[in-house]
Structure 1
Amino acid sequence: MSKTPLESKIETYLKDQIKGIGGLCYKFKSAVNGVPDQIVIYNKAIHLVEVKRPGERPRANQEHIHAQIAKQGVTVYTVDTTNAVDVFIKTVLGAKQKSKSRSKQKGVVMQSITQFKHIDE
């Protein structure tokens, strides 16, 4: 059995932390394969978030869709650890978490949040 947390554990942590700061977090199910799986609404803004298990990257079809979204001027964030969720909340949402009820993840290196942004050429 792997000690790597399941994607669902990180997804639950994201939802709990967003709720804790007064935001909304909804699972998004699209007919289009590759669309980000979470919609975070906080402080009059909507953010698209892809959740992965630690060290996992978006699949090729997800990267393609994320890049298409980025070309429309919307950033897609990918988080793969609870630490990355914390960084997203602090740096992207500009919010301070009240309490963190997560357990320590030994052996998991914090990965920065992946952002797909459109860059004008």
Structure 2
Amino acid sequence: MLERKIEARLKWEVENLGGLALKFTSPGMSGVPDRLVLLPAGRVAFVELKAPGKKLRPLQQKRKKQIESLGFKVYVIDSYRAIDLFVQEVMK
């Protein structure tokens, strides 16, 4: 399965929850997560999308730790099942 199919599904699922899955880029800072997810009631999450079985690159791991050290959750999603688990967690 291609990463872009997983990304499209994530976007669709988030929009069905009334949220936004914004493409996230940060000029001058490589390795940031792919999507900034904004959900009702002020819930925010960062999502890095990967093809099934692919791992974070070292710089992505560093950015994940930096963002999480500020109190934000960074999810790594590599399957439709991982999207389902993400939705369950963020909608608690």
Both structures adopt the same fold (TM-score exceeding 0.5): yes
Higher helix share: 2
Match of 1:22 among 18, 38, 60: 18
Please give the TM-score of this superposition, normalised by the length of structure 2: 0.91
Contact 2:51/2:79 (8 A) holds in 1: yes
Runs of 4 or more consecutive aligned structure 1 residues displaced over 4 Å after TM superposition: none
| Separation in structure 2 between the aligned mates of residue 53 and residue 17 of structure 1, nearest angstrom | 18
Same amino acid, percent of matched pairs: 39
Contact 2:26/2:32 (8 A) holds in 1: yes
Q: 1:45-84 counterparts in 2 under 5 A?
A: 45-84=43-82
Give the number of the structure whose alpha-carbon radius of gyration is greater. Answer: 1
1:9 aligns with 2:5: yes
The gaps in structure 2 that reach 5 residues or longer are none
The gaps in structure 1 that reach 5 residues or longer are 95-121
| Separation in structure 1 between the aligned mates of residue 66 and residue 47 of structure 2, nearest angstrom | 15
| Separation in structure 2 between the aligned mates of residue 56 and residue 93 of structure 1, nearest angstrom | 26
| Separation in structure 1 between the aligned mates of residue 91 and residue 26 of structure 2, nearest angstrom | 24
The CA RMSD measured in Å over matched residues stands at 1.0
Please give the TM-score of this superposition, normalised by the length of structure 1: 0.70
